[in-house]
Amino acid sequence: MLAQAAMAYYFDPNVENVGQAFETVNWWQVGRSAAEGLIPWKTPGGKIGRAAATASGDVLANAIYAGSSYSKSQALQDFAVGFIGDLAGGGLGELTAKYGSKAIAKGLSKMGFEYGDVNKMLGGGIKNNINETVNGVTAKRKMVGWAEGKVAVIGRDQKERVNKFAEGIGAETWDGFDINLPEAENIANNKKWIQGLKDEGYTIYDTGTGPKSPDKGAYYGMETKEVFDDN
């Protein structure tokens, strides 16, 4: 029951709340076998089944400790986090095949996993010391997203460095700066662009600072914090 409800709540875009999640539970299947309740999986002895069993134990322990204050929504979150954590070593493929990478990424974020961890679970994550040089500009790291063919570039000195690197690999850059807007509003718009990249699973190259601008500055500083969780 928890497996079906949790997967629906976090990964099914048509399920908007906890009540709807529990309505999706196939009670006939749950009645036959708790293991078979793990739609669409029928292998309780495999990774999915073992992860579900471990997560169910966590929920039971938490429920005993919290007593009557333990809610359905908390139970779903505790189950899902334990379930996904146990699968992080490579068992997410079946979930991705059913729901798609975008839904899985959104669900993992909803559970509270950080952006870099979400990408890592889906086969990407932060890649340091890559030293990829394009058009004379070197990127030393990148965040590998889950979407194929979607690439963006961030860094200092937009025209001289960021755009040159992006042009060489056919990637996107932020072009929303408006001289007529206050800096705070421009930074907010830049942040919205970054969030859009994260939502869509982009791979993001970081070209860093350069000789002209050795410091990060407000815009690039925000970008690295949002993408790489820099301080």
Structural domain count, the chain: 2
Q: Both 70 and 156 in a single domain?
A: no
Residues linked to residue 126 through DSSP beta bridges, in sequence order: 143
What is the layout of strands, in order, in the sheet containing 125-134? 125-134, 137-144, 203-206, 151-154
Q: Is residue 57 a part of any domain in this protein?
A: yes
Q: Both 12 and 81 in a single domain?
A: yes
Q: Both 129 and 84 in a single domain?
A: no
pTM above 0.75, yes or no: no
Contacts of 222 (CB under 8 A, 6+ apart): 187, 190, 191, 194
Per residue of the chain (231 residues), what is the pLDDT tens digit?
556 666 676 777 777 676 776 665 554 344 434 444 444 444 444 555 555 555 555 555 555 556 556 666 666 666 666 666 656 555 567 778 778 889 889 888 877 778 998 898 888 999 999 999 999 999 999 999 999 999 999 999 999 999 999 999 999 999 999 999 999 999 999 999 999 999 999 999 999 999 999 999 999 999 999 999 998
Q: Both 16 and 101 in a single domain?
A: yes
**Closest of 23, 30, 80 to residue 55, by C-alpha:** 80
Of 51, 86, 113, which residue sits at a domain end?
A: 113
Please report the sign of the dihedral spanned by the C-alpha atoms of residue 69, residue 74, residue 76, residue 79. negative
Amino acid in the structure at residue 213: S
Q: Both 104 and 81 in a single domain?
A: yes
Q: Both 156 and 205 in a single domain?
A: yes
Residues linked to residue 138 through DSSP beta bridges, in sequence order: 133
First vs last Cα of the chain: how many Å apart?
A: 41
For residue 30, report the phi and psi dihedrals to the nearest 5 degrees.
-60, -40
Show the domain range for 56.
2-113
Q: Is residue 89 a part of any domain in this protein?
A: yes
